[in-house]
Structure 1
Amino acid sequence: MSRVSVSGGAADLVRRLTGLHGPVMFHQSGGCCDGSAPMCFPDGEFRLGGSDVHLGDIDVGLERPVPVWMSAAQFAYWRHTHLTIDVVPGRGAGFSLEAPEGVRFLIRSRLMTDSEYAEDQSVGPT
C-alpha cells in the first residue's frame, strides 16, 4: 500500500518533464500562493528539511521512482488520506515545472480505509 499514486495523464507528463529536466521530485504545497498543489521540481532543487515527510514514491515507468514530500505540519492534517497526483488543463504554479505546458498538477484525495491506515503507520514524523 502506498500513500501516494499518480494518474496516467500525470505519469505521461512526469515522463516528458523528466526528459526535459532530468529526474524530478514532488513537494505538496502547503497552500500559500498556489493553494495546495503538488509542485514538481528537478530532483534536489527544492530544499528539504527535517520537517518534511517522505510520503512515498510514484512509479511512472522511468529508471527510478519519483519521490513525493510534504511538510510535517500539513501531514498532521492529511495523515488519513491517500493522495493521487493528477493533471488538468490550466495555468500551473509559477515554480512548478509544468507551468509552461498549459496544464497543472493537482491532488485528488480520499480517506484511507481503516486497514490501509493501519498498514501505513510507518510514514510521518515520529
Structure 2
Amino acid sequence: MSTPRVLITDEAAAVIDQLRETHGPLMFHQSGGCCDGSSPMCYAEGDFRLGRSDVKLGEVHGVPFYMEKSQFEYWKHTQLTVGVKPGRGSSFSIEIPLGLRFLIDSRLYTEEEAEALAPVERVDA
C-alpha cells in the first residue's frame, strides 16, 4: 500500500461536499505564495488552467490536488493535510464566501512512509 501525499480532515471534507453541491466537480491547486500566502485554492473543475509545470499529488475526498513542480521539489518530503478554519482569505478560492478558508498542515514522512510514497503525475496541458 502506498503512502498518500495529501490527506483531508473530516471538517474540510464536509465543506467539499457542500461546495460540490453548488459547483459540481472540484479541484485543488496549492498556491505558490502569491496573494494569500501558500494556501490550497479550491476551484470548480475547469475554472483554473493547469500548466505543464504542474503535477498531481493525488486526490482528497474525490478532488484532485495539484501543485507547481518547482514548489513540489521543496515540499516532496512532507505529507500535506487539507483543513479548514473560519476566516476570509484574500484569494479566489470558492470556499471564501462561506466565511471559511482551506489551509495546509504538513509533516515530514517517516523513513518507512517515504519508501512507499504514491507517485506524482505530470499534467499534460
TM over 0.5: yes
Q: Secondary structure at the match of 1:100?
A: helix
Calculate the TM-score normalised by the size of structure 1. Answer: 0.90
Q: What corresponds to 1:70 in structure 2?
A: 67
Q: What one-letter code is carried by the residue in structure 1 that aligns with 2:87?
A: G
RMSD: 1.3
Q: What one-letter code is carried by the residue in structure 2 that aligns with 1:57?
A: E
Check the 8 A contact 1:75/1:124 in 2, yes or no: no
The CA deviation string for residues 47-70 of structure 1, in whole angstroms up to 9 with x for no partner, is 1111101010012xxxxx110000
Moved over 4 A (4+): none
In the superposition, relative to structure 1, how do residues 111 and 68 fare at CA in structure 2: closer, same or farther (>3 Å)?
A: same
Percent of counterpart pairs with the same letter?
53
1:26 aligns with 2:28: yes
Q: What one-letter code is carried by the residue in structure 2 that aligns with 1:4?
A: V
Q: What corresponds to 1:62 in structure 2?
A: none
Greater relative contact order structure (CA < 8 Å, 6+ sep): 2
Calculate the TM-score normalised by the size of structure 2. Answer: 0.91
Structure 2 gap ranges (5+)? none
Q: Match for 2:80 among 73, 78, 83?
A: 83
**Alignment length, in residue pairs?**
120
In structure 2, distance between residues paired with 1:99 and 1:47? 20
Check the 8 A contact 1:86/1:108 in 2, yes or no: yes
